Amino acid sequence: MVVVMRTDATEADVEHVVDRVREAGGDAFVSRGKFRTIIGLVGDTEAFLSMPLATLPGVDQVVKVGKPYKLVARELHPQLTTVRVGDAAIGRATFSMIAGPCAVETREQALGAARAAKAAGATVLRGGAYKPRTSPYAFQGLARRGLEILAECKAETGLPIVTEVLDAGDVDHVAEVADALQIGTRNMQNFALLKEVGRANMPVLLKRGLSATVEEWLMAAEYVAQQGNTEIILCERGIRTFETATRNTLDLAGMVAAQIETHLPVVVDPSHATGRHDLVAPMARAALAAGADGVMMDVHPEPSEALCDGPQALTPPEIEALGAELAALARALGRPMA
């Protein structure tokens, strides 16, 4: 951290800052310029952040340098992490497909979607039993019954399951069926929930918040990692902008920016990012070309009958065709589909 003094700061003001930093167990190096003095702080940044340095006499601003996240930072852990979800390995060496229904609605619907996901080349099955809906009148998910159906889908297809958990109190029983716990966009900064899934000893798929910066997203991952769990997959699912032609705006540059910052794998959800089935395939191809570690996509046997997010769901033939196309493209790019 650096403390920038005002041009009219006195020598006593500078000494006061230095004394306060040293009292807090740190060290301070003073650099006197023609107009301004700056003071470089060395030591425990968190301790400095909790001090009222910006309010001391003569101080203009306190500037943080370095990353606020540590456990998820690539700078400190250059080796990239591959996250295992059941038998699937999600990381930079391959390109993974996660697919399934947005919500588990019925046994037949979920099994139909699971078979299509498998046929398309997915290695992980997604599907929500607990649904975070904007309207309290909308279908909220089948809860425990939905988990039972997911277990049946897993038994039939062999695909491991990623499913969302909405409440810290549900983590234990969701974890009995799930192979990875999903934190949805609306809960990205639910810190109690992040800590709870961090303690669950199971991979976590952490979606980017609706209006979260890349840094806030990585700080959310840091909460999970702080509990001793760095088996985290980040998922870019579009952010809120002024644009209304798409449900959200897919931030592929943000996805790559996150990959540069962290050793964790980052996947893209073109279904929730666009909200439009006709944009899913082009954005999935773009995500692969941009270097994403995988995609997560919605599939529904009958999108027009879906209780949740029908407009963005691919049909089974569509996802199978897209899977074949992605596999060919991934091979050409030297990152075969897992």
Residue 132 binding target from Mn ion, ligand PEP, none, CB below 5 to 8 Å by type: ligand PEP
CA angle in degrees (0–180, nearest 5) for 84-87-91: 40
Of 74 and 186, CB closest to ligand PEP: 186
- Gap between the Cα atoms of 44 and 70, Å rounded: 13
- Gap between the Cα atoms of 234 and 87, Å rounded: 19
Helix (H, G, I), strand (E, B) or coil at 228: coil
Please report whether residue 309 would count as binding Mn ion according to CB under 5 A: yes
Of 313 and 326, CB closest to ligand PEP: 313
Q: How many CB atoms lie within 10 A of CB 36?
A: 13
Please report whether residue 122 would count as binding Mn ion according to CB under 5 A: no
Closest approach of Cβ 45 to ligand PEP, in Å? 32
Candidate residues 14, 90, 102, 206; the one interacting with Mn ion per rule CB under 5 A = 102
Of 59 and 83, CB closest to ligand PEP: 83
Comparing CA positions, the residue from 53, 57, 67, 60 lying closest to residue 38 is 60
Report CA torsion sign: 128, 131, 137, 138: negative
Kindly state the helix (H) or strand (E) to which residue 240 belongs, with its residue range.
none
Quick one: which segment of 38-46, 93-101, 279-287, 301-309 binds Mn ion (CB under 5 A)? 301-309
Comparing CA positions, the residue from 208, 195, 315 lying closest to residue 259 is 208
- For ligand PEP, the binding residues (CB under 6 A) are 102, 128, 132, 164, 184-185, 207, 237, 272
Closest approach of Cβ 98 to Mn ion, in Å? 13
Closest approach of Cβ 141 to Mn ion, in Å? 10
**Residues contacting Mn ion: total by CB under 5 A:** 2
List residues near Mn ion by CB under 5 A.
102, 309
